[in-house]
Amino acid sequence: MKNQNNSIAIRLTNVSKKYTIHHEKPTLVERIARGRDEEFWALKDVNLTIRKGERVGIIGPNGSGKTTLLKIIAGITTPTSGTVETRGKVVSLIDLEAGFHPDLTGEQNIYLNGMLLGMKKEEIDGKLKKIIAFADIDTFIDAPLFTYSSGMKLRLGFTVAIHADPDILVLDEGISVGDKSFQEKSTFTIHRLIKKGITLLMVSHQIETIEQVCRRYIIFDKNRIVADGSQKVLNQFGYKAKI
């Protein structure tokens, strides 16, 4: 849904997400005692506005709702209640192997994944050599994906996504893909995209990485936003700021 305010990239209003946990083959006694399947609220009444060009780090313990938030913004899942508004092309680096087919070659998967991210064939044609070189899979480009290592597949997924010209880039630990050389190259590319004015949301347990990129920090705990602000927020909640 497009936002009428041109300065706003993302707005969430009273967004909640509920999952139903189906326990495997419960006994009759368990069914009677429980009465129904267990409900888990991954997000509860989240309100959030992010303006164009902001660089926002999402921080919090495992299970606090961070990745669910990114998936809702990226359109991978829908909220149980509330509204989500985005403006511009959203590209997510959440499940980097999504959109790939194991029996297709690396090159065929670049086209498949690129088109799923909204790229046109002509655009992929023009970027193909750069994508192959960046992902460092030259000798495997004509091999089927099932022959790739996990690291190769992750590098390929990351590379296609960052070449898709996003207006909003959603990262879930994606910048830590690959070896040190690839991470440095990826960080440089992220900064280049930032200079172009993209809006960035990043989830990472590596606080140093978030600090290098982000200027606004949102702290999640138990499915809610508990703090939103500058680096003072990091210190307040025990996350050590280094820059």
3-state secondary structure of 160: helix
DSSP state of 148: S
| Low pLDDT (below 70) residues in the chain | 1-5, 22-37, 96, 174-178, 240-243
What pLDDT does 25 receive?
Answer: 62
Residue ranges in 88-195 assigned as alpha helix (H) = 106-116, 121-135, 150-162, 180-195
Q: Comparing C-alpha atoms, which of 140, 203, 144, 134 is closest to residue 164?
A: 134
What pLDDT does 26 receive?
Answer: 61
What pLDDT does 1 receive?
Answer: 45
pLDDT tens column, 198-208: 999 998 878 88
> Which token pair is 218?
């949102």
What pLDDT does 243 receive?
Answer: 41
Do residues 66 and 123 make contact, with C-beta atoms less than 8 angstroms apart?
no
What pLDDT does 207 receive?
Answer: 84
What pLDDT does 2 receive?
Answer: 45
What pLDDT does 154 receive?
Answer: 86
Q: In which order are the strands placed within the sheet that holds 199-203?
A: 90-93, 168-172, 199-203, 55-59, 216-221, 224-229
